[in-house]
Structure 1
Amino acid sequence: MHSLPDFDQLVQLATTDPHQFALLRQRLVEQAIAQAAPNMQPRLQAQQSHIDRLISHAKNPLHSNILLQQELQRQLQRFSQALQSPSAQQPAKILPFK
């Protein structure tokens, strides 16, 4: 994985060339997903697609952060509920050992 530019360089890139900043972000995300376990890659790609859709609906970077924070809160709440009351969740499908 390529090294990440420092914060000030990222701010400058985002300010002066948002398109290049977006390409850098996309490339780094793709590299991170490629380094994940193969069985996790589809799930990570789906999650990233969801994140990209949220970002595309944002009016500006601050709005983007707010939307992402709200989504993270929703996911954490669902995770917490699943941990606190697993019986409320659908039972896991048990696959036979082959």
Structure 2
Amino acid sequence: MIGVLVTFTQTEKFDRSALTKIAGELRGPFEGMAGLRFKSFMLDEEGGQARNFYVWDDEEKGRSFFSKEIVDKVTEIYGVPPTVEYFDVVGFVDNSGS
């Protein structure tokens, strides 16, 4: 598994309601996406950052998803370019089924 942290940093705070709307609008395409274990939309209001965290079953799918086209698209949506970081997932706890 591979984890991907996508961080958008602004000099001003992100608007919570705007990010909630983005998360709602963008949720659909990720539901049932092959190879994607989960995705979260997160907000660090004090740090001026919006973050999206993904866990992919397959490293190749996880890395290939973040093409230049996708990065350009999310830059337009969030108003700032992201940083994309990749991590090996060496352990995972999923309590959603309990």
Q: Return the structure number with greater helix share.
A: 1
Which structure is richer in relative contact order (CA contacts within 8 A, separation 6 or more)? 2
Bigger radius of gyration among the two: 1
TM-score by length of 2: 0.29
Higher strand share: 2
